[in-house]
A = this chain, B = another copy of it.
């Protein structure tokens, strides 16, 4: 019996051209994070399950986590998300650090999902978090960063939008105005979270099951009808919301306006985020392409992440953005460069076995200069050389035939201009200058 050559269900093999695309994606993520002064961190692949039990939503623990007992009977899980890990790490060191703490990571994560478009079992996720920033500042910076990230990929406001909401507003509406207790509030949160994915009839049915009174229904319908900062402001005023909620909203939208960022945003009351730890602003970045209407990133503010470690509350704001949905977004908008061939400087060939050692020496000398050098082992016929060199993405080809070997020379050909020059093998500096 022979073994399967396929990767495990829901995971991917990254052959070189796939990996070049992934590395490009990582490089833009890193560049953007560094532009905002975020520092890279990483954590373990495995954490004890208690950490997720304390921090993530129910669904994640029950159905989606890769958990098992290790050989020492510890209950562990492959990380399904990074936030619990970063909370643990910040809890360890925050006393010694100047605030705010700005961190990012790009871990591989696993969730036990039914593989489908945009959703796999293993993916990479760009995570950015700011801890300990004054109220409102962290939110603004994180949103600016996520916009800059997509701009650094070449995207603009016709291609994506940020749907934004605030848990404190939702809490005010649900708990204060609709008068729901904790249990029914929690259920309504879950219903709102799912509302985009179901039909209006299915939504109505779910809401009906909560047995809301007519006043509560009315408020809820007004809430769901909000579709702009202006609408929300109007609702908060007409429902007599505390001055703080109203001022926050005004000040926040004014800042977005002054920073010329308002064009990226739309107020959306159905954005609440599934995970339980958000306490303030919540947002999702949506693809505007009609064939790919889905979230490519989500995040928000949380104030209690460190509580499970018996640490004082510290405000945090963060977001996650996965490589699978991002790649779908970049592809549908034709923003992903072509990674078919690698990038190399020179393809070294010899047409006589005698020249082998000279060819390797030349290769090693050019590597000392930092060039990317591919050598072809064994005699290579002239007519095959250029096709192979192009497949290797080489800019130049070195040729050593019988004559060149006898004279200790090498021919160097530029593959785009087709110019060819002869050099003495011992004159590495001239060869190198010619290649730049």
Residues of A participating in the B interface, judged by any CB pair closer than 8 Å: 2-5, 7-9, 11-16, 19-20, 22-23, 31, 34-37, 39-48, 50-51, 54, 66, 68-72, 74, 76, 78, 88-89, 91-93, 98, 100, 102-103, 108, 110, 112, 122, 133-134, 137, 140-141, 144, 148, 255, 258-259, 308-310, 342, 344, 357, 360-361, 364, 367, 370-375, 377-378, 388, 391-392
Contact = CB atoms under 8 A, between A and B. Distances in A.
Given A5-B309, A133-B377, A259-B360, 12 more contacts: A4-B50, A8-B44, A8-B76, A13-B43, A14-B43, A19-B42, A35-B367, A35-B371, A39-B342, A134-B377, A137-B378, A148-B364
A7 B344 CA distance: 40
Contacts of A102: 374
A137 B370 CA distance: 22
Nearest to A40: B19
Given A42-B14, A357-B255, A364-B259, A342 B5 contact: no
Please indicate which of the listed interface residues A5, A20, A46 has the most CB atoms of chain B within 10 Å of its own CB: A5
A373 B35 CA distance: 6
Q: Which 9 A-B pairs have the closest CB atoms?
A: A37-B374, A11-B44, A68-B68, A16-B39, A2-B310, A14-B42, A137-B377, A35-B367, A19-B40
A52 to B, nearest CB: 10
Nearest to A138: B377
A342 B103 CA distance: 11
How many copies of this chain?
2
A44 B7 contact: yes
Nearest to A367: B35
Given A35-B372, A36-B367, A68-B68, A45 B78 contact: yes
A41 to B, nearest CB: 5
B19 A41 contact: yes
A4 to B, nearest CB: 7
A318 to B, nearest CB: 16
A349 to B, nearest CB: 13
A37 to B, nearest CB: 3
Nearest to A93: B15
Please indicate which of the listed interface residues A9, A22, A140 has the most CB atoms of chain B within 10 Å of its own CB: A9
A258 B4 CA distance: 44
A3 B259 contact: no
A51 B374 CA distance: 31
Nearest to A88: B5
Contacts of A15: 41, 89, 93
A86 to B, nearest CB: 10
A429 to B, nearest CB: 18
Given A15-B89, A37-B392, A364-B259, A4 B45 contact: no
Nearest to A15: B41
Nearest to A145: B367
Nearest to A347: B37
A431 to B, nearest CB: 16
A140 to B, nearest CB: 7
A434 to B, nearest CB: 18
A133 B43 CA distance: 38
Contact of A308 (B3, B51, B140): B3
Contacts of A5: 88, 91-92, 309
Nearest to A366: B35
Contacts of A45: 11, 45, 78, 108, 110, 122
A44 B12 contact: yes
Contacts of A255: 357
A258 B70 contact: no
A103 B16 contact: yes
A351 B391 CA distance: 57
A180 B185 CA distance: 75
A333 B216 CA distance: 71
Given A46-B8, A92-B5, A137-B377, A98 B40 contact: no
Contacts of A91: 5
Contact of A112 (B2, B66, B71, B259): B71
